[in-house]
Protein backbone atom coordinates (compact mmCIF):
# COMPACT_ATOMS: atom_id res chain seq x y z
CA UNK A 1 0.00 0.00 0.00
CA UNK A 2 1.31 3.44 -0.93
CA UNK A 3 1.36 5.30 2.38
CA UNK A 4 3.22 8.38 1.07
CA UNK A 5 0.06 10.55 0.67
CA UNK A 6 -1.03 9.55 4.18
CA UNK A 7 2.29 10.53 5.72
CA UNK A 8 2.40 13.76 3.70
CA UNK A 9 -0.95 14.81 5.18
CA UNK A 10 0.18 13.85 8.69
CA UNK A 11 3.33 15.94 8.19
CA UNK A 12 1.28 18.93 6.97
CA UNK A 13 -0.98 18.59 10.00
CA UNK A 14 2.04 18.41 12.29
CA UNK A 15 3.50 21.60 10.77
CA UNK A 16 0.41 23.53 11.88
CA UNK A 17 1.55 23.19 15.48
CA UNK A 18 -2.02 22.61 16.67
CA UNK A 19 -3.28 20.40 19.47
CA UNK A 20 -6.56 18.89 20.60
CA UNK A 21 -9.75 19.97 18.87
CA UNK A 22 -7.94 22.51 16.66
CA UNK A 23 -5.68 19.80 15.26
CA UNK A 24 -8.69 17.56 14.64
CA UNK A 25 -10.54 20.37 12.88
CA UNK A 26 -7.58 21.11 10.61
CA UNK A 27 -7.12 17.48 9.58
CA UNK A 28 -10.85 16.86 9.14
CA UNK A 29 -11.08 19.92 6.89
CA UNK A 30 -8.05 18.76 4.88
CA UNK A 31 -9.67 15.35 4.41
CA UNK A 32 -12.91 16.91 3.14
CA UNK A 33 -10.90 18.43 0.29
CA UNK A 34 -10.01 14.93 -0.94
CA UNK A 35 -12.24 12.83 -3.20
CA UNK A 36 -14.12 10.03 -1.40
CA UNK A 37 -11.61 7.37 -2.49
CA UNK A 38 -8.80 9.55 -1.12
CA UNK A 39 -10.50 9.68 2.28
CA UNK A 40 -10.94 5.90 2.21
CA UNK A 41 -7.26 5.54 1.30
CA UNK A 42 -6.29 7.68 4.29
CA UNK A 43 -8.25 5.42 6.66
CA UNK A 44 -6.87 2.25 5.10
CA UNK A 45 -3.34 3.61 5.49
CA UNK A 46 -4.08 4.52 9.10
CA UNK A 47 -5.09 0.94 9.84
CA UNK A 48 -2.21 -0.50 7.81
CA UNK A 49 0.36 1.68 9.61
CA UNK A 50 -1.17 0.97 13.02
CA UNK A 51 -0.76 -2.76 12.36
CA UNK A 52 2.98 -2.17 12.02
CA UNK A 53 3.06 -0.80 15.58
CA UNK A 54 1.13 -3.73 17.09
CA UNK A 55 3.90 -5.39 19.10
CA UNK A 56 4.48 -6.36 22.70
CA UNK A 57 7.68 -4.32 22.78
CA UNK A 58 5.82 -1.15 21.82
CA UNK A 59 3.05 -1.98 24.28
CA UNK A 60 5.72 -2.28 26.97
CA UNK A 61 7.09 1.14 25.98
CA UNK A 62 3.60 2.59 26.38
CA UNK A 63 3.29 0.79 29.73
CA UNK A 64 6.47 2.49 30.87
CA UNK A 65 5.41 5.94 29.74
CA UNK A 66 2.07 5.55 31.54
CA UNK A 67 3.69 4.39 34.77
CA UNK A 68 3.29 0.62 34.52
CA UNK A 69 -0.21 0.29 33.08
CA UNK A 70 -1.66 0.53 29.59
CA UNK A 71 -5.04 -0.94 28.63
CA UNK A 72 -6.00 -2.21 25.17
CA UNK A 73 -7.77 1.04 24.31
CA UNK A 74 -5.00 3.20 25.74
CA UNK A 75 -2.43 1.37 23.62
CA UNK A 76 -4.58 1.88 20.52
CA UNK A 77 -4.77 5.62 21.18
CA UNK A 78 -1.03 5.67 21.96
CA UNK A 79 -0.26 4.08 18.57
CA UNK A 80 -2.22 6.84 16.83
CA UNK A 81 -0.41 9.46 18.90
CA UNK A 82 2.88 7.99 17.68
CA UNK A 83 1.64 8.37 14.11
CA UNK A 84 1.06 12.04 14.90
CA UNK A 85 4.77 12.37 15.74
CA UNK A 86 5.52 11.92 12.03
CA UNK A 87 6.89 9.20 9.80
CA UNK A 88 10.61 9.36 10.78
CA UNK A 89 9.84 9.03 14.50
CA UNK A 90 7.13 6.43 13.98
CA UNK A 91 9.24 4.15 11.79
CA UNK A 92 12.22 4.49 14.10
CA UNK A 93 10.11 3.55 17.12
CA UNK A 94 8.52 0.56 15.37
CA UNK A 95 12.07 -0.72 14.82
CA UNK A 96 13.33 0.24 18.31
CA UNK A 97 10.69 1.28 20.88
CA UNK A 98 13.32 2.85 23.13
CA UNK A 99 14.00 5.39 20.35
CA UNK A 100 10.79 7.05 21.52
CA UNK A 101 12.99 8.67 24.17
CA UNK A 102 14.47 10.97 21.53
CA UNK A 103 11.15 12.51 20.43
CA UNK A 104 10.83 16.10 21.69
CA UNK A 105 7.25 15.44 22.80
CA UNK A 106 8.41 12.54 24.95
CA UNK A 107 11.31 14.50 26.39
CA UNK A 108 8.83 17.19 27.41
CA UNK A 109 6.52 14.66 29.09
CA UNK A 110 9.38 13.09 31.03
CA UNK A 111 10.05 16.39 32.77
CA UNK A 112 6.49 16.74 34.07
CA UNK A 113 4.35 14.83 36.53
CA UNK A 114 1.65 12.88 34.68
CA UNK A 115 -1.03 15.00 36.31
CA UNK A 116 0.39 18.01 34.43
CA UNK A 117 0.43 16.47 30.94
CA UNK A 118 -2.92 17.98 29.98
CA UNK A 119 -3.28 18.36 26.19
CA UNK A 120 0.12 16.74 25.74
CA UNK A 121 -1.25 13.41 27.01
CA UNK A 122 0.21 10.77 24.63
CA UNK A 123 -2.91 9.54 22.87
CA UNK A 124 -4.91 10.56 19.80
CA UNK A 125 -8.19 8.66 20.00
CA UNK A 126 -10.04 10.98 17.64
CA UNK A 127 -7.68 10.24 14.74
CA UNK A 128 -9.75 7.10 14.19
CA UNK A 129 -12.92 9.12 13.57
CA UNK A 130 -11.78 12.00 11.38
CA UNK A 131 -11.83 10.19 8.03
CA UNK A 132 -15.31 8.67 8.57
CA UNK A 133 -16.61 12.12 9.53
CA UNK A 134 -15.01 13.72 6.46
CA UNK A 135 -16.39 10.95 4.21
CA UNK A 136 -19.90 11.55 5.52
CA UNK A 137 -19.53 15.29 4.92
CA UNK A 138 -18.29 14.82 1.35
CA UNK A 139 -20.68 12.06 0.27
CA UNK A 140 -23.72 12.82 2.40
CA UNK A 141 -23.76 9.15 3.45
CA UNK A 142 -26.33 8.43 6.17
CA UNK A 143 -25.66 4.74 6.84
CA UNK A 144 -23.72 5.17 10.11
CA UNK A 145 -20.40 4.65 8.34
CA UNK A 146 -21.25 1.25 6.84
CA UNK A 147 -20.33 2.22 3.26
CA UNK A 148 -17.14 3.91 4.41
CA UNK A 149 -15.95 0.94 6.46
CA UNK A 150 -16.89 -1.48 3.68
CA UNK A 151 -14.82 0.53 1.19
CA UNK A 152 -11.90 0.66 3.62
CA UNK A 153 -12.02 -3.11 4.15
CA UNK A 154 -12.09 -3.76 0.40
CA UNK A 155 -9.02 -1.57 -0.10
CA UNK A 156 -7.13 -3.25 2.72
CA UNK A 157 -8.06 -6.74 1.48
CA UNK A 158 -6.99 -5.92 -2.08
CA UNK A 159 -3.58 -4.87 -0.79
CA UNK A 160 -2.97 -8.05 1.21
CA UNK A 161 -4.95 -10.95 -0.25
CA UNK A 162 -2.92 -13.54 1.67
CA UNK A 163 -2.40 -11.67 4.94
CA UNK A 164 -4.96 -11.02 7.66
CA UNK A 165 -4.83 -8.14 10.11
CA UNK A 166 -3.00 -9.23 13.26
CA UNK A 167 -5.23 -10.35 16.10
CA UNK A 168 -2.47 -10.27 18.71
CA UNK A 169 0.70 -8.20 19.13
CA UNK A 170 3.85 -9.55 17.55
CA UNK A 171 6.73 -10.80 19.67
CA UNK A 172 6.66 -12.06 23.24
CA UNK A 173 4.85 -10.38 26.08
CA UNK A 174 6.94 -9.09 28.97
CA UNK A 175 6.38 -6.77 31.91
CA UNK A 176 7.96 -3.38 32.50
CA UNK A 177 7.38 -4.03 36.19
CA UNK A 178 10.42 -6.30 35.92
CA UNK A 179 12.97 -3.53 36.40
CA UNK A 180 16.07 -5.46 35.24
CA UNK A 181 14.26 -6.53 32.07
CA UNK A 182 12.91 -3.03 31.49
CA UNK A 183 16.39 -1.57 31.94
CA UNK A 184 17.73 -4.02 29.36
CA UNK A 185 15.01 -3.58 26.77
CA UNK A 186 14.07 0.07 27.32
CA UNK A 187 17.12 1.66 28.95
CA UNK A 188 16.28 5.28 28.10
CA UNK A 189 12.54 5.17 28.72
CA UNK A 190 13.09 3.33 32.01
CA UNK A 191 15.22 6.20 33.29
CA UNK A 192 12.93 8.91 31.91
CA UNK A 193 9.74 7.34 33.26
CA UNK A 194 10.42 5.71 36.63
CA UNK A 195 7.58 3.62 37.96
CA UNK A 196 5.45 5.24 40.67
CA UNK A 197 6.33 4.22 44.19
CA UNK A 198 4.62 0.99 45.19
CA UNK A 199 4.23 -0.24 41.60
CA UNK A 200 5.33 -3.77 40.93
Please write the tens of the pLDDT for every residue from 29-49: 999 999 999 999 999 999 999
* Pairwise pLDDT comparison (60 vs 161), residue with the higher score: 60
Asked whether the whole model's pTM tops 0.85, one would answer yes
Of 144, 22, 124, nearest to 30 (Cα)? 22
In a domain, 148, yes or no: yes
Examine the pLDDT at 179 and tell me if it is beyond 80: yes
Domain total for the chain? 1
Is residue 66 situated within a structural domain?
A: yes
Tell me the per-residue pLDDT of 180-193, one tens digit each, with 9 for 90 and over.
999 999 999 999 99
> Please, are residues 174 and 63 in contact by the beta-carbon 8 Å criterion?
no
Asked whether the CA dihedral 5, 93, 195, 74 is positive or negative, the reply is positive
pLDDT in tens, 43-82: 999 999 999 999 999 999 999 999 998 999 999 999 999 9
Judge contact between 10 and 83, C-beta under 8 A: yes
Range of 21's domain? Answer: 4-161+175-192
Residue 166 included in any domain: no
CA torsion sign for 19, 190, 7, 32 is: negative
Amino acid sequence: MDTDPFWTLIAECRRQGLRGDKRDAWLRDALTRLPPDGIVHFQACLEHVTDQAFSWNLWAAADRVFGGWCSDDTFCYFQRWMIGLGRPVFESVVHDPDALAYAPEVLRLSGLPRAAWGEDWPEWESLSYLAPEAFETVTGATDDGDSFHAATTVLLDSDRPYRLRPTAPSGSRWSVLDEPEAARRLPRLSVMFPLPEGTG
